[in-house]
Amino acid sequence: MSELIEVITKDGSYSLRSVFFQENFHSLLGALEETNIKFTAPSDLQRYKGKSINVLDICFGLGYNTASLLNELLKQKSYLNLYALEIDKKPLEYSLRNKSFLKLWTPKVKEIFESLRQNDFFEDQFFKCKILWGDARDKIHEIPSSNKFDLIYLDGFSPQKCPQVWTIEFLSKVKQKLSPHGYLITYSSSAAVRKTLRNLGLEIFTIKPSSSSGTSWSQGTVAIEKFDKHKFEPNSNFEKLSVMEEEHLLTKASIPYRDKDLNSRKDDIIKKRLNEQLLSNLLSTKKWRKKWGMTKLAFKS
C-alpha cells in the first residue's frame, strides 16, 4: 500500500513510518512502551484470568497490541477469540523478519503471526485468531453479527491523517461490536473522537499519562457502555476526564468526522469537517489552548 521506513524508538523497540500517511506507527518515545501504557495496561486483563475473552484489533499494523495481549493471556491461561482488521500486509511481514521485535514476545506469538500471514487464521486449544485484509470500513461487516467483543483496540493513524476510521459512521459500527461491559481503547485523545463516542452512548475515560510519556494530560481514551462504578477504584490506569478535557469537548475540535456511506476519500472527509467548523459557534480550540496553557502539539484534534 505504501513505502515504509524503519524507525528505532527511544526505548529500543522498532517501529515504522508510513510515507503515504506521513506519520509514524508509534511515538518516538517507544513503540513497546506505548503499547503497554495505552493498550495493555488499560485492558485490565486479569479480569479474564482462566476465562475466555473476545478481542477486535482494528488497524493491526505491526502487531504490537495483539502480541502484547497474547503474551499476557498465555501467562494467565486465558482463552482468546480474536479478529483483526488491517489494510496492508507489509507491516506484519516486517515484524516477522525483525529479530528484535520477535525477541519481545514468547515464541508462540511468532507461530500465530506466521499463520496469520500465510493463512489469515490460527487456531489451537487456547487461541482462535482471524485477520481480515482490506479497508476496515468494509471488513467490519464480515465479522458475524453475533460476535461481541470484550476489548476493541482502535489504533489507526491519527484522525487528521486517516479520518476514515474515526468518523461517526464507522465508530457507530465499532460500538455495535462492543459487549455491554467491554472496553473500547484508543491512543487518541481527540475531542472529535471522544465527543462522538460519548454521543454514541459510551462513558469516556482518560488514560493517565506516565512520567516518561512527554505529555501532561492524557495517553488516550477508554470508552465503556455499562461501567461498574464499584470496579473503578482498583483500575489506576484510567480515570474520569478532567475539567480541561471536558471543556475540550465544547470546542470546535469536537466537531465530528463524517462519512455517510463509509466510502468517502480522506480529503473529502476533512474538507467537510473544516466547513462545519467554520460555520460553528462553538468556542475556538485556540482559545481553549490559551486558557489551559496548551501548545498546539500537545494534542491531536
Q: What is the DSSP string of 104-126?
A: TS-HHHHHHHHHHHHHSEEE-SS
Q: Residue 272: pLDDT band by 50, 70, 90 thresholds?
A: very high
> Which domains, and CATH codes, for the chain?
26-242 (3.40.50.150)
In this structure, the number of other CB atoms found within 10 A of the CB of residue 274 comes to: 11
Pairing of strands 178-186, 221-224: antiparallel
**Model confidence pLDDT, tens digit, residues 167-182:** 999 999 999 999 999 9
% of the chain at pLDDT higher than 70: 92
Q: Residue 34: pLDDT band by 50, 70, 90 thresholds?
A: very high
% of the chain at pLDDT higher than 90: 83
Q: Residue 81: pLDDT band by 50, 70, 90 thresholds?
A: very high
- Report the number of secondary-structure helices (H) and strands (E) in the chain: 11, 12
Instruction: Measure the CA–CA gap between 236 and 238, rounded to whole angstroms.
Output: 6
Q: What is the mean pLDDT of the chain?
A: 92
Pairing of strands 127-133, 4-8: unpaired
Which residues, including other chains, have CB under 8 Å from residue 146's CB and lie 6 or more apart? none
The C-alpha cell 491461561 sits at 77
Instruction: Measure the CA–CA gap between 64 and 39, rounded to whole angstroms.
Output: 10
Average of per-residue pLDDT across 30-46: 94
Instruction: Measure the CA–CA gap between 251 and 270, rounded to whole angstroms.
Output: 17
Does pTM surpass 0.85? yes
**Model confidence pLDDT, tens digit, residues 125-156:** 999 999 999 999 999 999 999 999 999 999 99
Query: Which pLDDT value is given to residue 185?
Result: 98
Query: Which pLDDT value is given to residue 270?
Result: 97
CA distances from 157 to 2, 44, 86, 280 (A): 13, 24, 12, 26
Query: Which pLDDT value is given to residue 217?
Result: 77
CA distances from 177 to 8, 40, 57, 256 (A): 34, 20, 12, 20
Instruction: Measure the CA–CA gap between 132 and 245, rounded to whole angstroms.
Output: 35
Query: Which pLDDT value is given to residue 209?
Result: 78
**Model confidence pLDDT, tens digit, residues 180-224:** 999 999 999 999 999 999 999 999 999 987 655 455 678 999 999
Query: Which pLDDT value is given to residue 208?
Result: 86
Query: Which pLDDT value is given to residue 295?
Result: 63
Residue 233 pLDDT > 80: no
Average of per-residue pLDDT across 43-67: 97
Query: Which pLDDT value is given to residue 301?
Result: 43
Residue 248 pLDDT > 60: yes
Write out the three cell numbers for 170.
Answer: 464507522
